[in-house]
A and B are shown apart, each in its own frame.
Chain A
Amino acid sequence: MSSSIELPSYKEQSEDVRTRFAELYQRPIKLEVEGLSKSFTTAKGSVEVLSPISFNVHRREFVSVIGPSGCGKSTLIRMLAGLETLSSGTFLLDGQEPSGPGADRGMVFQGYTLFPWLSVKKNVMFGLEVNGKSGAAVEQEAMQWIELVGLTHAADKYPRELSGGMKQRVAIARSLANQPQILFMDEPFGALDPHTRCQMQAHLLQIWRNVDVTIMFVTHDLDEAIYLSDRILVLKANPGEILEYVEVPVPRPRTPEQLLSPEFLAIKQRLEELIHPKEPERDDEPLPNIRMTGIGDEVE
């Protein structure tokens, strides 16, 4: 980040942002994580991926988790989704301790994970059916969720016929159809091209506004995290622990133009500092200046 422009502190919040956060903290706590940790046993002994961490997520909050690779951000939400066992600690969802994976916690994966043998509609109906619903109502309900993600025209297609962005919209619709308490998203737009990615971020914000759902979103893209989130959970690696739980001072509703606003740049600078601390690293060393061309400096 260039520091030639004077940026406000990332803690400086405008009046309506402050009221927004005040209201947000009034809402009931949806997810309460207490001393959660994860370690794997390898041949060389126990490796701690995630130190005990604790944090809360409020109802209808949008929380992003960022951190360098290996910080355990994916492990964290996989544990919360019930796909990995906890090494220690507990977490409460709506005051209850869930066991194993379940329909109350939706998950969207980077790899789409649509069932290739089912049409879009049947994919969305899957969750409803395995949870005991049946009949024509299921199809109707599924079609509503497909409409929500704007894919009514593709309802009878197989996943292989869809683009990456469309697949991920189906995956979101499929998770939301179960009306989960919380939706975990594990780098869901990581495999998409930049343009589709921007579109998907806008789509996701709109969906989130229209549906009563709390979202925990893992990403390594700072812009994405800031653009989408209320708060950002910043983790550090080896072992993974919380560096800071940052409030995003950018007002809502968010628009792509805000990417260059002072609040946006301020929080982005702060996140950069947290994730890439100014320590001498091998990659940061200056390259030796060796000329391999005889022609003048016309490139500049």
Chain B
Amino acid sequence: MTNGKKNGKVTSPWFAIRKDLDARQRLTLSCLSFILPLVAWAFVSYSPFIWHPDVKLHISADRSDVTTVYTAGDHLSKTYFPEFVAAIRSDNLEILASRESGDAESRGSSVRRANLKIMRHISDAAIANDWLTRVEAKEDDLLYGVWRDVAEGKLSGKKVKFSEENLAIINRNWELMSASSPTFSSRDLPEIPLEKLVPQGVSANPVYLPAPHEVVIKGLQDFTFESESDKPSMFDRYKHSLKIVFLGFLLAAVVGVPLGVLCGTFDFFSKLFEPFVDFFRYMPAPAFSTLLVAVFLAHDAPKIALVFVGTFFQLVLVVANTTRQLDRSLLEAAQTLGAKNITLIRRVILPGITPNLYNDMRILLGWAWTWLVIAELIGVKSGLTEFLETQGRWRNFDSVFPIIILIGMSGFVTDQFLSSLRKYLFPWTPDAAEKKHGFIGRFFLWLVDPKAYSTPLNGKAK
């Protein structure tokens, strides 16, 4: 081994074939495994030169000949955006040309309606620059004020800066507007057609890849949003989803563990049940969704049943296998000590497999999580998935990501938590830390075998 020496301390090399790293190195790498993807995400999101195939609109406009309406926040591809801008410019040229020819003045009310629309287009920039709130931005007289302040130079955009071209347009438009009326009045809008604001935007990634800060902000908004009383809040949805996963899993465990232990203990049950279970697990649980809805009707029952179907069959096989892996010589030893039948199961098999069984349950709980989204889609959509679905359809992917991450985190954190409990639960296993006589562990086994655990050791081994 080529151990590096630093300040007199021996450090193990980072790359050594089939050698464990030391604790600090492992921690560093474990942290990096999370930080690296985050850095990659941030890098792609915040460096405009990397990918950014789209333009995110800050200021939009209506094309005269096209019905498709883009609003601020929409993503346009970089190839289409110049075409869009060019179209608006040619619209403006036409407007200027029609002013010259003077034929617009004859249709005053329709010109005023068009001008009102153009005037309102400044609202997106006003909101983005925090000049107006979303509610205020619906009031025409405030928007009118924005035109005035921008034209007079009292307001200048920080987050959304008007281009020189747009500032010129604003100034020219305001001249016409202020000439008609200093304050807003729908009757006093100029009867000369105003020029449209030319679309402005920043380069952006596709809508399905929101930047980290957008996801965080949107997630916080979604979770703190006060919902109307008849609609579930995000926490209600989360609780509902948890309920589906855990109930489905618990049911599968309550039925599956005894069955699996029986199969692993008696060849009779193994040959009677396992072939069918083995066959059934290849049938995808979602294939049963309509059937489950027909049997269990609406609400939560079919969803829980789907998680059950998706977990149960795997669970039986895994538990049976774990049971079979118990060291046979332990059973033989117990037999030569006089243990028979039920006593063997209760006092040797069950306590013997419990640590591995616990691990299996952890892994299968992970399985149960994977069925959550499909389960919540069947029948009446519910829980986090309903939200996920709706937001996904509206292409609000900044709302979708927090939910996906939340589901992932829930599974991961539960698993890590249960994993860390292991050494307290099963102090006799080799991986348990030295000298840790778990209280919960003794209680847990007391449930299985009260006799053997009636006098706790209290950790005074020496």
Contact = CB atoms under 8 A, between A and B. Distances in A.
B351 interface: yes
A102 B334 CA distance: 9
Contacts of B427: 158
B343 A116 contact: no
Contact of B347 (A82, A130, A174): A130
Given A102-B338, A126-B347, A130-B343, A116 B428 contact: yes
Interface string A89-112: 000000000001111011101010
B126 to A, nearest CB: 70
B420 interface: no
Interface in A113-155: 113-119, 122, 125-127, 129-131, 134, 139, 153-154
Contacts of B434: 161
A139 B272 CA distance: 42
A157 interface: yes
A57 interface: no
B426 A117 contact: yes
User: Counting chain B CB atoms within 10 Å of each CB, which of A83, A125, A126 scores highest?
Assistant: A126
A175 interface: yes
A120 to B, nearest CB: 10
B354 A117 contact: yes
B446 to A, nearest CB: 12
B150 interface: no
Contacts of A171: 333
B339 interface: yes
User: Counting chain A CB atoms within 10 Å of each CB, which of B333, B347, B428 scores highest?
Assistant: B333
B330 interface: yes
A157 to B, nearest CB: 5
Contacts of B457: 119, 156
Contacts, number: 95
B411 interface: no
Interface string A226-249: 000000000000000000000000
A19 B334 CA distance: 39
A100 to B, nearest CB: 8
B452 interface: yes
B11 interface: no
Chain B interface helix/strand/loop/mixed: loop
B461 A174 contact: no
Contacts of A105: 336
Contacts of B332: 83, 101, 107, 109, 113
Interface in B412-457: 426-430, 434, 445, 451-452, 455, 457
Interface string B325-353: 00101101111111110010001100110
Contacts of B351: 115, 117-118
B338 A117 contact: no
Contacts of B426: 117
Interface in B90-105: none
B343 A109 contact: no
B179 to A, nearest CB: 92
A158 B428 contact: yes
A292 B218 CA distance: 78
A82 B332 CA distance: 9
Nearest to B452: A122
Contacts of B393: none
Nearest to B435: A161
Contacts of B462: 153
Contact of A130 (B329, B339, B429, B445): B339
A156 B461 contact: yes
Given A83-B332, A107-B336, A130-B334, A161 B343 contact: no
B336 A117 contact: no
B429 A116 contact: yes
A266 interface: no
A122 B338 CA distance: 15
Given A127-B337, A156-B457, A175-B337, A117 B428 contact: yes
A71 interface: no
A159 interface: yes
A145 B457 CA distance: 19
A156 B460 CA distance: 8
Contacts of B430: 160
Nearest to B426: A117
A122 B453 CA distance: 9
A81 interface: yes
A82 B455 contact: no
B338 A103 contact: yes
Given A129-B451, A157-B461, A82 B335 contact: yes
Contacts of B334: 115, 126, 130
A113 B347 contact: no
A158 B428 CA distance: 6
A115 B348 contact: yes
A106 B451 contact: no
A43 B429 CA distance: 40
Contacts of A75: none
A102 B352 CA distance: 21
Given A102-B335, A118-B351, 13 more contacts: A101-B335, A113-B333, A115-B348, A115-B352, A125-B452, A126-B339, A126-B347, A139-B455, A153-B462, A159-B428, A160-B429, A175-B336, A178-B337
19 contacts: A103-B336, A105-B336, A106-B336, A115-B334, A115-B348, A117-B351, A117-B428, A126-B334, A129-B452, A130-B343, A131-B338, A157-B461, A158-B427, A158-B428, A160-B428, A160-B430, A161-B434, A175-B337, A184-B336
Interface of A: 81-83, 100-103, 105-107, 109, 111, 113-119, 122, 125-127, 129-131, 134, 139, 153-154, 156-161, 171, 174-175, 178, 184
The 9 residue pairs across chains A and B that have the minimum distance between CB atoms: A103-B338, A127-B337, A113-B333, A107-B336, A101-B335, A158-B428, A130-B339, A117-B351, A131-B338
